[in-house]
């Protein structure tokens, strides 16, 4: 046994050396299969300033369905950066479902951004809240998130984040979650196919629950382990839903105000 | 007993030595002070002292005295040395002062003679005697506080007030231009150009660094000679000094005595240093000359002369070496001049008796060197003000030099006018030379610096960091020197690039970039599966309003289901072609860049169609007219007609041709049309070779081998470089993993040149619209601009951060606007202007 262990150790070392020597590049001409095809690397070994993004992408590539591992905060990792990079990755991965939604979710089929029947979401990307169609809402939300997450005002660095900026992630999450809910309630085949491939919604739900970025009652899309919750969320009384929808609209309006101040950088009240 | 105890206590207190104490206490408890011993308690005392104890005590005391005596002697010797040092210094100063006084007299005389001669030549008569008397008066009045004003009055007038002179200036400038042109041609014929430039730019760089260091040092010295370790910030000192200087120049009558004290502190050492400095400057100046001459930029050289219009008669450049030496000589004299004038301030009464013979001799020499000296006069102006920055009492000198530069006739009638003018002049020149000596040099070089960037391989980055200051200062300069040549600036803006915008909007590595052929519009394709459209015009406007505003994309294209790898915009600007890892090529309509906003309703019409055929990642595309070629990891090269009218209606399009279908050549990585003609294409195949294909026959014309088993020669990008005026034959340029850029002859297929261009894999190359410059990017986080003719690096910019082992994936030139873009693995697109 001891011998075996030492052999394993040597083997690991060999692997380490190999992974160190390996140049992690996608050179022109490389096939789709060989894209990012290199040995995994520990977070500590990554010298890049974008190590967290690399690490998250590496975990996703290894097994996108292993949500727990992907969300496991590494030792000594700044939580703000960890959350920020994850939200970036969610937005990135949501591009794919948007591409698929574009094929059947058109302004004519889904004129409003809805999940369940009573909830209409107003698009917060505009200076004045707008009742955008579902696909517009999706695109605008993602574009807006991209701008916010790349804003030199709120996120000038991807290594050091201000606490006030990290708090912005909550509203980004709340908004992009509606893309999941819309897809789930209105484009179920696309959603199922996508979820099976990427487990993105599951990852997202776990993520926002873990870091308390959204309230649990607003997470209306069931994920695998909580199939039963679907029924409960559907059996809410009409009255409650109406109230919540009003609340949601109010909430949305306050968000819109927030957004407005983002659109006018001269307004320093928020900074 | 009580009493003797007291004595013992006081005794113990008095004696500092522990040994003595021990002796005393051990001998008897009732012992006494040794001084009072014999007289007071003789009996007891006799008992209490032992012979060895006394001896020991005496020995100790003697030692102590001896020690102190030695210390005194040491101190004395030290002080003596100090005195002799200071005396020697004073003697040296006096000698120096005498020398300088002699020189200033000589120069004054020479100036007078020059003026007379000039007047004779111009008006054919002897100048009015008033002239001489005034200057004589000046001499005699030199000790008065207002003398510098008088001096100005006699000799200053501005060019603008004398059109005749102005004409002469332009005429002489033209003549010089021609001469310069001729010289340039000679030099080019000899093939001297490159070496001279290299050597000179290297020297220049060394001098720039050295000169600044020297400045700081000497300044420190003047502040505190004896405590050199005093770590004063030389820059702040200088700035203070300059402020003082400005004040002095404004109220031309000033407290010279106080400042002359500062002069007194100057060691000969410092003077030497200043001399060194001026020498350095002169070398730089001549380099400036030669540079502007040799670079072959007419505009540059003319600009240079325009600037020098102030020093009217101007330069007669014989050869570079000569000018070097002569300028240096002349400058030495000017440096002395400045010194001597400071001396005159200091001790105005002291000897104005000048060795006549020596003076006349020197004057003759001066006449000989006159032309060269004039060449250096502008220089001297700057120099003197440079010297001024050390000792802020030189407004008089400044005035004199300004006068020299203008070399004007005496015009007593205009005294009042010119007086104010001179003051203005002084103020201006000080402004130019304000802030720091380092900047003094920079100002001088703010035009040539642009040239230097061309030739500096290593220091380009530091140059660039200076650029901010330079650009600011050049504004000052344009105020001072009435005719700055704007063309120089425009010309250089093409060649010196600086970071202008950051385009942050992607979530992952940027893989490809494409500029609109005419508008300031950029497309970026990223591994986040999107393509974003950026309007740089819009962003520029926004930036002016608020520099904090981020540039946001105006449209996001979402259709690819994998990283976007290649982008093209059709020459008309109506269509976009993109390809990605998802093996798709997509044809898009270009949204209107002026009206589109990213939060507009989704317009499905932006997507036109897929070009289907490839079965693996499509890595590169090239487009000429209506013909598109693409290379894919499925090893095929496909040819398309994406814009033909009847096919636009179809939902998807298949290729009209396919090369390398049997995969015999390997996997193609990059493709380009030869000379933008749609008959021939060049394709790189992995780490082995390029192939030149004839599209009409689908046959290989030439094979370009570059495989080297010891290196990873994987080719990232291949480009065709059309023949230009400077390069007779067309080239194929390719960027490789082994850090090299290779150049092939298109006809023979032979490797004609290869260079290690970067410290890491070379990832992309782009050729500027004039075909004179090559831009390369690398995973070493830098982009470099190369002069294609000389194959020398013109500028390097470090930017972008690494993700995995990738940093910069792509670079692009705008076809007719001064934009350069680079896309990095850090998801940022940078725009350089």
Work out the pLDDT band at B112, boundaries 50, 70, 90: very high
A259: number of Cβ within 10 Å: 21
- Could you tell me which residues are beta bridge partners of residue B612? B654
Q: Does A108 reach chain B within 8 Å, measured CB to CB?
A: no
Say if the Cβ atoms of A125 and B599 lie within 8 Å: yes
Is residue B573 within 8 angstroms of chain A, CB to CB? Answer: no
Query: Is the confidence at residue A205, as pLDDT, over 60?
Result: yes
B352 vs B649, which has greater pLDDT?
B649
**Rounded to whole angstroms, how far apart are CA atoms B649 and B282?**
71
Q: What is the pLDDT of residues B293-311, one digit of tens each?
A: 443 334 433 334 444 443 3
Q: Are residues B507 and A132, on separate chains, in Cβ contact within 8 Å?
A: no
The CATH architecture to which A22-270 belongs is Up-down Bundle (1.20)
List the single range of A83-87, A190-194, B21-25, B77-81 with lowest mean pLDDT: B21-25
User: Is 70 exceeded by the pLDDT of residue B559?
Assistant: yes
User: What is the pLDDT, as a whole number, of residue B91?
Assistant: 95
A3, A11 contact by CB (below 8 A): no
CA A205 to chain centre: 9
Pairing of β B652-654 and β B607-612: parallel
Choose among B505, B583, B714: nearest Cβ to A146.
B505
What single-letter DSSP state applies at residue B771? S
Find the CB nearest B806 among A25, A53, A142.
Answer: A25
User: Is the pLDDT higher at A136 or at B336?
Assistant: A136
CB contact A27 to B (< 8 Å): yes
Question: Does the beta-carbon distance from B598 to A88 stay under 8 Å?
Answer: no
State the Cα–Cα distance between residues A92 and B527, nearest whole angstrom. 9
The DSSP bridge pattern shows strands B715-721 and B699-705 to be unpaired
Least confident of A187-201, B544-558, B761-775: B544-558
Q: How far is CA B485 from CA A81, B167, B300, B479, in A?
A: 51, 18, 8, 12
- Rounded to an integer, what distance in angstroms lies between the CA atom of residue B312 and that of residue A93? 70
- Which residues from B are below 8 Å from A29, CB to CB? 619, 631, 633, 667-669, 686, 714
Mutation test of the interface with chain A: which of B502, B503, B507, B667, choosing the one with the most A Cβ atoms within 10 A?
B507
pLDDT at B85: 94
Contact A35 B529 (CB under 8 A): no
Q: Do A25 and B582 touch (CB under 8 A)?
A: no
Please state whether beta strands A120-121 and A113-114 pair in parallel, antiparallel, or not at all (unpaired): antiparallel
DSSP structure class, residue A216: G
Q: Which residue ranges make up each domain of chain A?
A: 22-270
Are A24 and B805 within 8 A, CB to CB? Answer: yes
Structural tokens at position A133: 């169609």
pLDDT, greater one: B328 or B409: B328
Any chain A CB within 8 A of the CB of B805?
Answer: yes
SS3 B99: helix
Q: For residue B809, which residues of chain A lie inside 8 Å, CB to CB?
A: none
pLDDT score for B780: 87
The whole-number pLDDT of residue B462 equals 37
Maximum distance among all Cα pairs of chain B, rounded to whole angstroms: 141
- The predicted-structure confidence for B251-285, as pLDDT tens digits, reads as follows 443 344 434 444 444 444 444 444 444 444 444 44
Please name the residues between 514 and 543 in chain B that touch chain A, using a CB distance below 8 Å: 528-530
Per-residue pLDDT band for B667 (boundaries 50, 70, 90) equals confident
Q: Which of A13-17, B496-500, B545-549 is most confident?
A: B496-500
Query: Which residue from B528, B803, B827 is facing A54, i.e. has the nearest CB?
Result: B803
The whole-chain average pLDDT of chain B stands at 65
- Cα-to-chain-centroid distance, residue B652: 55
Q: Which among A25, A49, A96 is the nearest to B529, CB-wise? A: A96
Write down the domain spans for chain B.
499-832
For residues B49-61, one letter each, b for 16 or more C-beta atoms within 10 angstroms of the residue's C-beta and e for the rest, the string is beeebeeebeeee
Q: How far is B518 from chain A (nearest CA, A)?
A: 26
Tens-digit pLDDT profile for residues A116-174:
777 788 887 777 777 888 888 888 888 888 888 888 778 888 877 888 888 888 888 88
- In angstroms, the CA A166 to CA A78 distance is 11
pLDDT score for B381: 46
- A105 among annotated binding-site residues: yes
Q: What is the pLDDT of residue B106?
A: 94
Quote the pLDDT of residue A137. Answer: 86
pLDDT digits (tens, 9 = 90+) for B670-708: 888 887 787 888 888 888 888 888 888 888 888 888 887
Whether A182 has a binding-site annotation, put simply, is: yes
Asked whether residue B334 carries a pLDDT value surpassing 60, the answer given is: no
Q: State whether CATH 2.130.10.10 applies to domain B499-832.
A: yes
Ramachandran assignment for A116, one of left (phi > 0), alpha (psi -120 to 50 degrees), beta (any other): beta
pLDDT at B153 over 60: no
Query: What pTM value is reported for the model?
Result: 0.53
Residues of B in contact with A147 (CB under 8 A): 505, 550, 552
Residues in B touching A139 (Cβ below 8 Å): 556, 558, 602
Higher pLDDT, B367 or B789: B789
pLDDT in tens, B770-813: 888 888 888 888 888 888 888 888 888 888 888 888 888 889 88
Rg (CA), chain A: 21
Q: Hey, how many other C-beta atoms are within 10 angstroms of the C-beta on B30?
A: 16
Q: What is the DSSP letter of B369?
A: T
């Amino acid at each position: 046994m001891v011998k075996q262990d030492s052999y394993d150790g040597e083997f690991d070392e060999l692997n380490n050396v190999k992974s160190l020597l390996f140049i992690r590049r996608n050179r022109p001409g490389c096939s789709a299969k060989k894209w990012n095809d290199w040995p995994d690397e520990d977070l500590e070994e990554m010298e890049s300033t974008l190590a967290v993004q690399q690490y998250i992408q590496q975990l996703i590539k290894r097994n996108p369905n292993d949500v727990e591992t992907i969300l496991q905060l590494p030792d000594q990792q700044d939580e703000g950066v960890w959350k920020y990079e994850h939200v970036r990755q969610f937005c990135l991965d949501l591009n794919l479902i948007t591409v698929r939604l574009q094929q059947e979710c058109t302004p004519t089929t889904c004129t409003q951004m809805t999940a369940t029947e009573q909830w209409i979401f107003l698009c917060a990307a505009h200076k004045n809240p707008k009742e955008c169609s579902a696909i517009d809402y999706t695109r605008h939300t993602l574009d807006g998130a991209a701008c916010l997450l790349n804003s030199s005002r709120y996120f000038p660095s991807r290594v050091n984040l201000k606490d006030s900026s990290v708090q912005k992630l909550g509203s980004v999450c709340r908004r992009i979650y509606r893309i999941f809910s819309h897809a789930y309630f209105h484009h179920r085949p696309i959603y199922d196919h996508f979820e099976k491939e990427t487990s993105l919604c599951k990852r997202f739900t776990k993520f926002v629950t873990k870091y308390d970025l959204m309230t649990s009652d607003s997470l209306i899309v069931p994920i695998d382990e909580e199939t039963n919750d679907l029924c409960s969320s559907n059996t809410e009384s009409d009255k409650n839903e109406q109230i919540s929808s009003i609340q949601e609209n109010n909430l949305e309006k306050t968000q819109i105000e927030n957004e407005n101040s983002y659109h006018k950088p001269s307004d320093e009240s928020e900074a | 007993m009580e009493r003797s105890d007291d004595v013992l206590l006081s005794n113990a207190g008095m004696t500092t030595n522990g040994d003595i104490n021990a002796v005393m206490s051990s001998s008897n408890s009732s012992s006494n002070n040794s001084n009072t011993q014999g007289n007071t308690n003789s009996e007891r005392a006799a008992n209490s002292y032992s012979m060895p104890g006394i001896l020991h005590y005496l020995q100790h005391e003697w030692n102590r005295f001896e020690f102190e005596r030695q210390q005194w002697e040491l101190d004395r010797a030290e002080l003596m040395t100090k005195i002799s040092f200071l005396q020697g210094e004073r003697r040296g100063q006096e000698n120096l002062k005498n020398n300088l006084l002699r020189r200033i007299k000589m120069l004054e005389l020479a100036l007078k003679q020059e003026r007379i001669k000039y007047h004779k030549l111009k008006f054919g008569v002897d100048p009015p005697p008033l002239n001489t008397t005034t200057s004589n008066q000046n001499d005699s009045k030199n000790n008065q506080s207002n003398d510098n004003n008088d001096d100005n009055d006699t000799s200053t007038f501005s060019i603008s007030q004398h059109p005749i002179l102005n004409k002469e200036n332009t005429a002489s400038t033209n003549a010089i231009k021609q001469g310069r042109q001729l010289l340039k041609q000679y030099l080019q014929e000899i093939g001297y150009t490159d070496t001279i430039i290299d050597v000179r730019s290297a020297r220049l760089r060394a001098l720039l660094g050295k000169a600044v260091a020297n400045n700081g040092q000497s300044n420190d010295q003047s502040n505190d000679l004896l405590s050199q370790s005093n770590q004063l910030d030389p820059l702040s000192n200088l700035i203070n000094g300059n402020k003082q200087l400005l004040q002095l120049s404004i109220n031309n009558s000033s407290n010279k005595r106080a400042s002359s004290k500062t002069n007194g502190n100057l060691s000969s050492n410092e003077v030497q240093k200043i001399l060194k400095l001026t020498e350095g400057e002169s070398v730089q100046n001549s380099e400036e000359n030669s540079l502007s001459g040799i670079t072959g930029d007419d505009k540059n050289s003319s600009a240079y002369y325009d600037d020098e219009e102030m020093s009217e008669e101007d330069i007669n450049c014989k050869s570079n070496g000569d000018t070097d030496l002569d300028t240096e000589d002349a400058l030495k004299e000017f440096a002395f001049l400045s010194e001597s004038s400071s001396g005159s301030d200091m001790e105005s009464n002291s000897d104005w008796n000048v060795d006549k013979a020596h003076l006349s001799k020197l004057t003759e020499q001066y006449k000989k060197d006159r032309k060269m000296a004039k060449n250096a006069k502008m220089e001297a102006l700057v120099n003197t003000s440079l010297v001024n920055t050390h000792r802020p009492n030189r407004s008089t000198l400044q005035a004199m030099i300004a006068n020299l530069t203008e070399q004007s006739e005496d015009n007593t009638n205009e005294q009042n006018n010119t007086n104010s003018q001179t003051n203005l002049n002084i103020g201006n020149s000080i402004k130019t030379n304000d802030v720091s000596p380092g900047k003094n040099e920079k100002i001088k070089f703010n035009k040539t610096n642009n040239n230097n960037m061309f030739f500096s391989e290593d220091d380009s980055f530091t140059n660039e960091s200076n650029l901010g200051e330079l650009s600011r200062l050049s504004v000052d300069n344009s105020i001072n020197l009435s005719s700055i040549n704007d063309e120089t600036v425009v010309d250089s803006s093409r060649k010196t690039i600086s970071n202008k915008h950051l385009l942050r909007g992607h979530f992952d590595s940027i893989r490809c970039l494409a500029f609109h052929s005419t508008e300031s519009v950029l497309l970026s394709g990223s591994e986040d599966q999107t393509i974003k459209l950026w309007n740089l015009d819009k962003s520029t406007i926004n930036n002016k309003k608020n520099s904090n505003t981020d540039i946001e994309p105006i449209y996001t294209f979402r259709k690819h289901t994998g990283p976007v790898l290649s982008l093209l915009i059709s020459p008309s600007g109506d269509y976009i072609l993109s390809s990605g890892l998802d093996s798709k090529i997509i044809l898009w309509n270009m949204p209107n860049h002026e009206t589109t906003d990213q939060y507009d309703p989704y317009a499905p019409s932006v997507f036109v169609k897929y070009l289907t055929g490839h079965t693996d990642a499509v890595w590169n595309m090239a487009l000429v007219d209506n013909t598109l070629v693409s290379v894919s990891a499925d090893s095929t090269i496909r040819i398309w007609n994406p814009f033909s009218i009847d096919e636009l209606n179809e939902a998807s399009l298949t290729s009209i041709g396919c090369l390398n279908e049997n995969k015999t050549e390997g996997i193609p990585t990059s493709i380009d049309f030869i000379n933008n003609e749609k008959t021939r294409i060049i394709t790189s195949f992995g780490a082995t070779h390029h192939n030149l294909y004839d599209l009409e026959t689908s046959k290989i014309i030439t094979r370009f081998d570059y495989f080297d088993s010891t290196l990873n020669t994987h080719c990232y990008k291949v480009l065709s470089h059309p023949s230009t005026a400077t390069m007779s034959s067309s080239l194929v340029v390719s960027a490789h993993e082994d850090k090299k850029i290779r150049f092939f002859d298109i006809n023979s297929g032979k490797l004609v040149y290869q260079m290690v261009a970067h410290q890491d894999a070379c990832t992309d190359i782009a050729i500027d619209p004039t075909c004179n410059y090559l831009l390369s990017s690398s995973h070493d986080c830098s982009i470099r601009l190369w002069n294609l003719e000389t194959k020398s690096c013109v500028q390097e910019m470090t930017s972008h951060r690494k993700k995995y082992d990738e940093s910069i994936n792509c670079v692009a030139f705008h076809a007719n606007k001064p934009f350069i873009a680079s896309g990095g693995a850090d998801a940022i697109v940078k725009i350089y202007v």
